Every structure is written in C-alpha cells, then in structure tokens.
Amino acid sequence: MLEEKTDRIWKALADPTRRAILDDLARDPQTTGHLVQRHPDLCRTAVMKHLELLTSAGLVVIRREGRTRWNYLNPVLIQRVCERWIHNHLCQMTGAMGRLKDHVESHKQRRE
C-alpha cells in the first residue's frame, strides 16, 4: 500500500503542468478558477483533472467555502518525499564524491 501511494506521488510529480500548479500553490492557496487563469493554455477541465490527480496523491488538499474550492499544497508530504528520496540519495552521493576526491588526491600525491 505504501508503494502504491509512492507511485501516485511520483506520477503526479512527473508532469510539468502539475509541477507548475504545485509551484503556484506553494506561493499561496488558490481557487480552481484562479489556477485556470494562471494556466491559459489549459481548459478548466484539464486543470480539474490535474488537481484530481494531485489530490489523490495527497500533494494537494481541498477546502470548500460555499461554491468556491480552495486548493492548498500539502507541505508535509513534499517534505517526506524530500527526506525519503532526495536527502538519502544526496547523502550517499556526497559520501561517494568525498571518497572519490580523496582517492584522486592520494593518487596525485603519489605521482608527484
């Protein structure tokens, strides 16, 4: 089940339009109508479909006020993705780069 949720998150993040919508929501919560205005290349239906996928992945939270639908970025989930994937891989890469640097420098000193 966790794997399924993770797959939905990565599927949602894979699309540049959805990432642009998330960037908009990172600045401040927005109504669906405002998001449609911010993305004139998309019809309202397309924006709604993108929001539906983002919501099902847990990246966007919706709050209704009467007929108005407010969309909020879920920063907790973004943080978890960052910690789980980016931070872990970055630490591994940084360690590997440090070891490579040490190896190259020790080889260089032996040659001199």
Asked whether the beta carbons of 61 and 55 are under 8 A apart, the reply is: yes
Residue 99 half-sphere exposure toward CB, CA atoms < 13 A: 6
Domain ranges of the chain: 1-73, 75-112
CB 61 within 8 A of CB 72: yes
- Please check whether the domain covering 1-73 is classified as CATH 1.10.10.10: yes
User: In this predicted structure, what is the pLDDT of residue 94?
Assistant: 65
Number of H helices, E strands in the chain: 6, 3
CB-count burial class (<10 Å; 0-12, 13-18, 19+) for 25:
buried
The predicted pLDDT at position 93 comes to 65
- The two tokens of residue 18 are 């959805």
- Residue 59, pLDDT score: 96
First-to-final CA distance of the chain: 57
- In this prediction, residue 89 carries a pLDDT of 66
Q: Residue 4's pLDDT is what?
A: 80
Three-state DSSP at 67 gives: coil
Q: What is the pLDDT along the chain (112 residues), one digit of tens a residue?
A: 567 888 888 899 999 999 999 999 999 999 999 999 999 999 999 999 999 999 999 999 999 999 999 999 998 887 777 777 776 666 666 666 667 677 677 766 777 6
Q: What is the DSSP letter of 42?
A: S
With a threshold of 0.75, does the pTM exceed it?
A: no
CB atoms within 10 A of CB 54: 26
